[in-house]
């Protein structure tokens, strides 16, 4: 694959000067507007790559992005989608990595549960769970960078922790477009705020790592080793956006 990767739906490097509240989407066309809430800010002291990361305090901070068709990976049972990010927990508790939810109960979410499991949920308007993909209880370290990836390949789902598949699901359930803003770092109820740092937050409208999650949890991905790029030739390579 060569050229620019137009399948990138969201790419936040979270770079900038210390304590900045500006977060720029590096999507090639029609980049999204990102709004910081609480004291969400750029942190230059703790970062994976680049000049900074997103610092969230665990009690009031999050990012919001207006609704977009770019978030509608759950509307088709045949489409592919990938979400991945670099994560640094200052402590480990029930946290929301990202939520997309209407004022009712229709929602999709990626989070850590109270039992220390990484979980993806898709729920319909009456709060019935359509899809639940959950890892075995895993040890999420504090004060250490980890890579988390969610992969949708058609009706097959997988979650990866530091390149290792930790969850599998197979379900063709879909949901119509939720029609709500995307939030990063908290659930819609405002109860479960993420505490720590996030870096290199990427939404990709394809099977970015070219993997097939399986029930035996034997699938692996190549964990990125440098800042993410919209250069299609940079997939699984060490190429930095300039």
The overall longest dimension of the chain from CA atoms, in Å, is: 46
pLDDT given at position 239: 33
Distance CA 226, CA 171 (A): 33
Q: Taking the alpha carbons of 138, 226, 74, 165 in that order, is the dihedral positive or negative?
A: negative
Q: Which residues contact 201 (CB under 8 A, 6 or more apart)?
A: 10, 11, 12, 14, 54, 85, 184
The single residue listed with the structure tokens 């993420």 is 194
pLDDT given at position 127: 60
Query: Which CA distances in Å does 188 have to 38, 105, 135, 143?
Result: 15, 10, 22, 26
Judged against a pLDDT cut of 80, whether residue 164 lies above it is answered with yes
pLDDT given at position 102: 66
High-pLDDT (> 90) share of the chain, %: 52
- What the block records as the tokens of 77 is 């049972």
Distance CA 195, CA 96 (A): 10
Task: Calculate mean pLDDT across residues 167-182.
Answer: 86
Q: Yes or no: say if 206 and 80 are a contact pair by the CB < 8 Å rule.
A: yes
Segment 135-159, tens digit of pLDDT: 876 778 889 999 999 999 999 999 9
Torsion of CA 105, 11, 110, 217, to 10 degrees: 140
Q: Yes or no: say if 232 and 208 are a contact pair by the CB < 8 Å rule.
A: no
HSE, CB side, 13 Å, CA atoms: give it for residue 174. 13
More confident residue, 240 or 93: 93
Domains, the chain, in order of start with CATH, read 8-234 (2.60.120.200)
- What the block records as the tokens of 45 is 């002291």
């Amino acid at each position: 694959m060569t050229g620019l990767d137009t399948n990138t739906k969201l790419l936040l490097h979270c770079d900038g000067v210390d304590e900045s509240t500006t977060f720029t989407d590096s999507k090639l066309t029609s980049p999204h507007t990102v709004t910081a809430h609480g004291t969400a800010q750029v942190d230059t002291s703790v970062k994976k790559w680049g000049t900074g990361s997103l610092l969230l305090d665990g009690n009031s901070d999050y990012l919001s992005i207006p609704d977009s068709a770019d978030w509608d990976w759950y509307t088709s049972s045949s489409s592919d989608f990938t979400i991945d990010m670099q994560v640094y927990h200052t402590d480990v508790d029930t946290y929301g990595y990202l939520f997309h939810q209407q004022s009712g109960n229709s929602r999709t979410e990626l989070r850590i549960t109270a039992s220390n499991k990484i979980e993806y949920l898709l729920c319909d308007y009456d709060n019935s769970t359509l899809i639940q993909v959950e890892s075995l209880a895993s040890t999420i370290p504090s004060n250490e960078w980890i890579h988390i990836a969610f992969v949708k390949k058609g009706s097959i789902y997988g979650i990866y922790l530091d390149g290792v598949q930790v969850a599998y699901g197979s379900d063709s359930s879909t949901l119509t477009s939720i029609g709500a803003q995307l939030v990063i770092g908290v659930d819609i109820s405002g109860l479960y705020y993420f505490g720590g740092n996030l870096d290199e937050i990427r939404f990709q409208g394809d099977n970015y790592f070219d993997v097939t999650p399986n029930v035996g949890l034997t699938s692996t991905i190549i964990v990125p080793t440098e800042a993410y790029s919209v250069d299609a030739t940079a997939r699984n390579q060490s190429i930095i956006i300039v």
